[in-house]
């Protein structure tokens, strides 16, 4: 079995990988992360989907503790402007919508006579 792992590069992917391997293997595998203090954060527009809660649960982190401390939110969709034509907006959700009484929340939204925007904001 592998006894040590070196992760080259920090950032979100590096640190999440190191955290996961440490949680998965504990003391059986030595995990070393190497990152340069001279390379600045790239800021590539990362977003946190709600499924990250599964990752944090695996690490033993309770969402009720870390989310308020981070002042964080989950990104649930991406907004495309000018999708069909200038002025048209389209929201692409990142995961399936919830279900209430056997119906997707989108069905409830349609019955409410929406304004044309998925999030209800005016066009």
Main-chain phi, psi angles of 80, to 5 degrees: -105, 120
Distances (CA, A) of 103 to 97, 106, 108, 112, 116: 10, 8, 7, 14, 20
Closest CA to 7 of 33, 35, 36, 39: 33
To the nearest 10 degrees (0 to 180), the angle between helices 63-70 and 52-59 is 120
113 among known catalytic residues: no
The set of catalytic residues is 75
């Amino acid at each position: 079995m592998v006894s040590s792992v070196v992760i080259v590069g920090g950032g979100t992917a590096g640190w999440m990988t190191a955290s996961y391997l440490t949680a998965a293997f504990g003391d059986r595998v030595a995990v070393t992360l190497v990152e340069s203090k001279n390379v600045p954060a790239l800021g590539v527009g990362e977003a946190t989907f709600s499924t990250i809660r599964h990752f944090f649960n695996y690490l033993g982190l309770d969402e009720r503790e870390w989310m308020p401390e981070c002042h964080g939110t989950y990104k649930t969709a991406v907004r495309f402007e000018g999708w069909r034509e200038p002025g048209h907006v389209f929201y692409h959700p990142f995961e399936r919508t919830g279900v209430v009484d056997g119906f997707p929340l989108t069905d409830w939204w349609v019955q409410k006579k929406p304004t044309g925007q998925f999030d209800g904001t005016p066009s």
